[in-house]
């Protein structure tokens, strides 16, 4: 289970600056088992303590935040994205290189976040609980970014930890893609997110 990150988990701006090349390289390698393309235009970025800590450090560095209140604001915001031990949490990015194509796609893909799923072999699909912080959709279009939570039952958790395969997909009328099953490095990363 991921524990919440605290101020003690973070490096000072100076320490982070000195260690950043190594931390960045290690985090990018770690993300290779956590950034999952689902079809040509959707990537799910499954977060954990390592990816979230890196994001917080990068924001503090970019915005030169060193005061306690600013640091706590970032911790409060990003800790919500950590898996709690019974779920997977992911940032969904809908990505099109061509701007006009992206605008047209976002109009057609309303509801895509709620049609995104994870499935443990032998069990029903678990559809995402999405955007719990704020609504990211209008009646005209969806956002290119969504925050998703996939809540597993205790028997699903046991199955994943026991080596069961994991499938991930999107069942939207205008975007039907799946990864079945995910490669073992992803499956192991998912298992590590569960208590």
CA atoms within 13 A on the CB side of 2: 28
Tell me the pTM: 0.86
> What does each of the 195 residues of the chain score in pLDDT, given as a tens digit?
457 898 899 998 999 999 999 999 999 999 998 999 999 999 999 999 999 999 999 999 998 888 888 888 888 888 888 888 999 999 999 999 999 999 999 999 999 999 999 999 999 999 999 877 666 667 889 999 999 999 999 999 999 999 999 999 999 999 999 999 999 999 999 999 997
- CATH architecture assignment, domain 33-46+85-195: Sandwich (2.60)
Strand residues in the chain grouped as ranges (E): 35-38, 42-46, 87-94, 116-120, 126-127, 129-130, 145-151, 166-172, 175-179
Domain residue extents for the chain: 1-31+49-82, 33-46+85-195
């Amino acid at each position: 289970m991921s524990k919440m990150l605290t101020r003690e988990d973070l490096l000072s701006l100076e320490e982070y600056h000195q260690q950043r090349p190594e931390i960045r390289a290690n985090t990018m390698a770690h993300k290779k088992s956590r950034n999952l393309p689902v079809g040509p235009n959707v990537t799910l970025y499954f977060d954990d303590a390592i990816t979230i800590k890196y994001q917080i450090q990068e924001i503090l560095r970019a915005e030169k935040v060193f005061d306690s209140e600013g640091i706590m604001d970032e911790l409060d915001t990003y800790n919500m994205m950590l898996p709690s031990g019974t779920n997977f949490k992911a940032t969904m990015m809908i990505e099109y290189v061509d701007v006009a194509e992206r605008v047209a796609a976002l109009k057609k893909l309303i509801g895509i976040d709620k049609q995104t799923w994870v499935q443990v072999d032998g069990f029903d699909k678990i559809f995402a609980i999405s955007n719990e912080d704020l609504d990211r959709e209008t009646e005209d279009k969806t956002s290119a970014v969504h925050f998703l939570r996939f809540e597993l039952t205790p028997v699903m958790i046991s199955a994943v930890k026991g080596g069961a395969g994991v499938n991930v997909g999107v069942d939207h009328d205008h975007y039907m893609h799946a990864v079945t099953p995910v490669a073992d490095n992803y499956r192991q990363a998912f298992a590590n997110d569960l208590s």
